[in-house]
Amino acid sequence: MTPREVLEFAKKNKTVMVDMRFMDFPGLWQHFSIPITALDVSSFEEGLGFDGSSIRGWQAIHHSDMLVIPDPTTAIMDPFTQHPTLSMICNVIDPITREHYSRDPRYIAQKVEQYLKSTKIADTCYFGPEAEFFVFDDIRYDQNEHCGFYYIDSVEGQWNTGREENPNLGYKPRYKEGYFPVPPMDTMQDLRTEMVLEMQKCGIEIEAQHHEVATAGQNEIDMRFDTLTRVADKLLQYKYVVKMVAKRHNKTATFMPKPIFGDNGSGMHCHQSLWKGSKPLFAGSEYAGLSQMALYYIGGILKHAPALAALTSPTTNSYRRLVPGFEAPVNLAYSSRNRSASVRIPMYSASPKAKRVEVRFPDASCNPYLAFSAMLMAGLDGIENKIEPGAPLDKDIYDMKPEELSDIPSIPGSLDEALGHLENDKDFLLKGGVFTEDVIDTWINYKRTREIDAIRLRPHPYEFNLYFDI
């Protein structure tokens, strides 16, 4: 839509409020609202002001004034507000220079799409993220000077088979057996369908929905691929819908990678491909029907994966999921069909248009604008430098002997380790000015001081089990 079409759309839907949404640095949507009477065509050029110093990882207090410029192509009616509310995703602008704000994650995604075109390698990158999430009935947690705990509950939780529920009807998915029993074992069917219907209202095309492997309400809804910035926009709308529909039913949803001990965590497998005009560039006659370009792209992903992890798996909790020997694809190898490899080539279709690579180590705690941009930059570096991915690994990695695994590199074992790799391997991100030194340094410093140090300073509840009697 154009700005004038947005105003007509708002009038047609009897809009009373306009919600301006933008992304903070770590990866959460922020917003403020204005009456519809305050929105006119000039708003799409002049923007609206807000305090940038109150946004995580952004401006200092003495440079606090910022502007948002709404993107008219993202306009939708919010399906959850009591009063008709138009929602738009915004770009962030410096009010003095009128230039894009360098730490605006959406701007970085827009820059990487421009850089892709400038390379002449391709003109479009498609991403298709598969975000997994949990829906719980209760979550309580606290941490202070003298205590720390969390408590999760779900009517689906296998741990509740013996609970008095007056009556307890059973049908609680066993650990690691939540994929794909029909109802009544799967209690989330109607809830996911409601999520799908609300996503469709927001313009998100959905391909499938299902229960995931873990007990206690692990789910997945798959949306159709789109261009990089646009699919990152849609992923934020997706997460908003999931959380709001859960809340509507007095439940809570989380994209935290590893909330439950002893069962599968939640990842976000990212399908990606390059196109030039109407031609898919990843289809060819090499391994698994890939082109040589696709193999080089995989080579770039595998080479830079330890640094990528700081952006694609960016929480301390991400590495509770990315543990060697368990379900997560921590070994940096590629394969067709083999889901134990960190990069997989899906083989569902023989069509050249369906040929893509699937990177399996990211999770949905990431900032998608940054994570998708970083993966594309790694893949392009592989193509530009003809980085070979090595031989494919077409057997179950988890059944291999230690000596067989010794030559296969793996994802870092902690966020701190991943950040160290990012410090030492960032040049590929700086090409074309897509990422800046300031963005990378700010990311590393924020994660170390606000997250890693925060966890490191606090006793863990299980440490009392291990050490109290020393």
Query: How many Cα atoms are found within 13 Å in the side-chain-facing hemisphere of 6?
Result: 26
Closest by alpha carbon to 217, among 167, 178, 163?
A: 178
pLDDT at residue 62 greater than cutoff 60? no
Q: pLDDT band at residue 401, thresholds of 50, 70 and 90?
A: confident
pLDDT at residue 61 greater than cutoff 60? no
Query: Could you give the percent of the chain with pLDDT greater than 70?
Result: 97
More confident of the two residues 329 and 27? 27
| Pair 328, 322: CB distance under 8 Å | yes
Which one of 269, 304, 356, 421 is the catalytic residue? 269
Q: Across residues 460-466, what is the average pLDDT?
A: 94
State yes or no: is 130 an active-site residue. Answer: yes
State yes or no: is 360 an active-site residue. Answer: yes
The per-residue pLDDT for 405 is: 75
| Pair 406, 161: CB distance under 8 Å | no
| Pair 314, 416: CB distance under 8 Å | no
More confident of the two residues 463 and 395? 463
Query: Which residues, in sequence order, are bridge partners of residue 218?
Result: 134
Which one of 220, 233, 263, 451 is the catalytic residue? 220
pLDDT at residue 381 greater than cutoff 80? yes
For residue 28, what are its two tokens? 């959460």
Q: pLDDT band at residue 396, thresholds of 50, 70 and 90?
A: confident
Q: pLDDT band at residue 64, thresholds of 50, 70 and 90?
A: confident
State yes or no: is 248 an active-site residue. Answer: no
State yes or no: is 51 an active-site residue. Answer: yes
The per-residue pLDDT for 340 is: 75
- Cα–Cα distance between 431 and 424 in angstroms, integer? 15
Which one of 71, 78, 132, 226 is the catalytic residue? 132
Angle at 153 between CA 148 and CA 155, to 5 degrees: 175
The per-residue pLDDT for 328 is: 78
pLDDT at residue 199 greater than cutoff 70? yes
Query: Pairing state of beta strands 218-223 and 279-280?
Result: unpaired
- Cα–Cα distance between 283 and 279 in angstroms, integer? 9
The per-residue pLDDT for 60 is: 64
10 Å Cβ neighbour count for 11? Answer: 10
- Cα–Cα distance between 208 and 355 in angstroms, integer? 19
Which one of 19, 130, 137, 186 is the catalytic residue? 130
For the chain, give the secondary structure using H, E and C.
CCHHHHHHHHHHCCCCEEEEEEECCCCCEEEEEEEHHHCCCCHHHHCEEEEHHHCCCCCCHHHCEEEEEECHHHCEECCCCCCCEEEEEEEEECCCCCCECCCCHHHHHHHHHHHHHHHCCCCEEEEEEEEEEEEECEEEEEECCCCEEEEEECCCCHHHCCCCCCCCCCCCCCCCCCCCCCCCCCCCHHHHHHHHHHHHHCCCCEEEEEECCCCCCEEEEEECCEEHHHHHHHHHHHHHHHHHHHHHCCCEEECCCCCCCCCCCCCEEEEEEEEECCEECCECCCHHHECHHHHHHHHHHHHHHHHHHHHHCCCCCHHHHCCCCCCCCCECCEEECCCCCCEEECCCCCCHHHCCEEECCCCCCCCHHHHHHHHHHHHHHHHHCCCCCCCCCCCCHHHCCHHHHCCCCECCCCHHHHHHHHHHCCHHHHHHHCCCHHHHHHHHHHHHHHHHHHHHCCCCHHHHHHHCCC
State yes or no: is 8 an active-site residue. Answer: no
Q: Across residues 260-270, what is the average pLDDT?
A: 96
Which one of 19, 233, 358, 451 is the catalytic residue? 358
pLDDT at residue 157 greater than cutoff 90? yes
Q: pLDDT band at residue 404, thresholds of 50, 70 and 90?
A: confident
Closest by alpha carbon to 214, among 337, 344, 328, 325?
A: 328
| Pair 283, 369: CB distance under 8 Å | no
Q: pLDDT band at residue 263, thresholds of 50, 70 and 90?
A: very high
Average pLDDT over the chain reads 95
pLDDT at residue 57 greater than cutoff 90? no
pLDDT at residue 226 greater than cutoff 80? yes
Residue with tokens 């507000």: 81
Q: pLDDT band at residue 406, thresholds of 50, 70 and 90?
A: confident
Closest by alpha carbon to 397, among 386, 412, 410, 385?
A: 410
State yes or no: is 469 an active-site residue. Answer: no
Of 6-20, 77-91, 179-193, 334-348, which gets the smallest average pLDDT?
334-348
State yes or no: is 207 an active-site residue. Answer: no
Region of 26 on the Ramachandran plot (φ > 0 left; ψ -120 to 50 alpha; else beta): alpha
Of 13-22, 74-83, 201-210, 399-408, which gets the smallest average pLDDT?
399-408
The per-residue pLDDT for 407 is: 81
Region of 296 on the Ramachandran plot (φ > 0 left; ψ -120 to 50 alpha; else beta): alpha
Which one of 51, 165, 388, 427 is the catalytic residue? 51
| Pair 184, 171: CB distance under 8 Å | yes
Which one of 31, 100, 339, 448 is the catalytic residue? 339
State yes or no: is 269 an active-site residue. Answer: yes
- Cα–Cα distance between 161 and 418 in angstroms, integer? 39
Query: Pairing state of beta strands 343-345 and 65-70?
Result: unpaired
pLDDT digits (tens, 9 = 90+) for 301-354: 999 999 999 999 999 999 999 987 667 788 899 998 767 789 999 988 889 999
The per-residue pLDDT for 400 is: 74
Cα 360 from chain centre: 12
**Residues with Cβ within 8 Å of residue 250, at least 6 apart in sequence:** 137
More confident of the two residues 406 and 331? 331
The per-residue pLDDT for 59 is: 67
The per-residue pLDDT for 398 is: 66
State yes or no: is 233 an active-site residue. Answer: no
| Pair 246, 191: CB distance under 8 Å | yes
| Pair 273, 280: CB distance under 8 Å | yes
Which one of 103, 271, 344, 360 is the catalytic residue? 360
